[in-house]
Structure 1
Amino acid sequence: KKAKHAPTVEPLQEGEEVTDTMGNKWKLIKLSTQSTTELLYEGETLRFSGAKDGRIFNEQNFLQRAAKPASVDKWIKQNKMDFLGIPTCVGFGLHADSYRFLIFPNMGRSLHSVIEEQNEPLSEKVVLQLACRILDVLQFIHSNEYVHADVNAENVYIKPGAKSEVYLVGYCHAFRFCPGGKHVEYRDGSRTPHEGSVEFISLDAHKGAAPSRRSDLQSLGYCMLHWHTGKLPWSELTQPQQVATQKRRYMEDVKALLSLCFGKKKVSRAFQTYLTAVMSLQYTEQPDYSELKVGLSTALHQLGGAVELPLAL
Structure 2
Amino acid sequence: MPRVASKRAYNIAKPISTGLELSDQRSNVWIVGEAIGQGGFGRLYSASSKQHPQAKNFVIKIEPQENGPLFTETHFYTRVCKQDLLDEWKQRRGLSFLGIPRFVAKGLFRASDGQSCRFLVMDRFRGSLENCLAQHEFTPADIPRIAIQTVQALEYIHSRDYVHTDIKASNLLRGAKDEFYLADFGLVTQYKVGGKHKAEKVSHKLKDNGTLEFCSRDAHAGLPPSRRGDLEILVFNVVHWLYRSRPNAPQGPCSGLPWESFIADPSVRANVPPAVRDLVVKSKQEAMANPSSLAKAANVGAQPALESLISTVGSLDYTEEPDYDHIVALLTSLAKNLARGQRPKHVLSEVNQDTDKALPKSKRTPNTKKVTPKPETTVKKSSRARGNTTVEVCGTSHPTKTNAHQAVDRVGTAGLRRKLDLKELVSPSRRSPRVKAPVSYLDAFEPSDEEDIPIVKKTKSTRVTTKASQTSPDLLEIAKKRAMREERRKNFF
1:308 corresponds in structure 2 to none
Amino acid at match of 1:45: N
Matched, 1:207 2:207: no
1:112 corresponds in structure 2 to 130
Deviations 1:250-309 (A, max 9, x none): 1211212222342xx41323321211111111110111101111121233345569xxxx
Unmatched tracts of structure 1, length 5 or more: 306-313
2:212 aligned counterpart, secondary structure:
coil
Contact 2:128 2:172 (C-alpha < 8 Å) held by counterparts: yes
Cα distance in 1 between the residues matched to 2:228 and 2:294:
18
Cα distance in 2 between the residues matched to 1:101 and 1:8:
13
1:48 corresponds in structure 2 to 60
Matched, 1:16 2:51: no
Aligned residues, how many? 298
Cα distance in 2 between the residues matched to 1:248 and 1:81:
35
2:141 corresponds in structure 1 to 125
1:260 corresponds in structure 2 to 297
Cα distance in 2 between the residues matched to 1:6 and 1:210:
21
Call closer, same or farther: CA 1:299–1:232 in 2, change over 3 Å.
Answer: closer
Matched, 1:178 2:192: yes
1:101 aligned counterpart, secondary structure:
strand
Percent same amino acid among aligned pairs?
29
2:180 corresponds in structure 1 to 166
Matched, 1:136 2:148: no
2:260 corresponds in structure 1 to 235
TM-score of the aligned structures, taking structure 1 as reference length:
0.88
1:150 corresponds in structure 2 to 166
2:214 aligned counterpart, secondary structure:
coil
Give 1:107 deviation, angstroms.
2.7
Call closer, same or farther: CA 1:74–1:35 in 2, change over 3 Å.
Answer: closer
Cα distance in 1 between the residues matched to 2:238 and 2:3:
29
Contact 2:3 2:211 (C-alpha < 8 Å) held by counterparts: no
Contact 1:201 1:219 (C-alpha < 8 Å) held by counterparts: yes
2:332 corresponds in structure 1 to 297
Amino acid at match of 1:42: S
TM-score of the aligned structures, taking structure 2 as reference length:
0.57
Matched, 1:65 2:102: no
Deviations 1:197-220 (A, max 9, x none): 111121111222111000110111
2:108 aligned counterpart, secondary structure:
strand
Call closer, same or farther: CA 1:8–1:142 in 2, change over 3 Å.
Answer: closer
1:282 corresponds in structure 2 to 317
RMSD: 2.3
Call closer, same or farther: CA 1:259–1:207 in 2, change over 3 Å.
Answer: same
Amino acid at match of 1:292: I
Give 1:36 deviation, angstroms.
6.0
Amino acid at match of 2:302: V
Deviates more, 1:55-64 or 1:105-114: 105-114
2:33 corresponds in structure 1 to 29
Unmatched tracts of structure 2, length 5 or more: 48-55, 245-255, 264-268, 341-493
1:272 corresponds in structure 2 to 307
Give 1:244 deviation, angstroms.
1.9
Cα distance in 2 between the residues matched to 1:301 and 1:255:
19
Higher-Rg structure is 2
- Mapping of 1:240-251 within 5 angstroms? 240-251=277-288
Contact 2:12 2:63 (C-alpha < 8 Å) held by counterparts: no
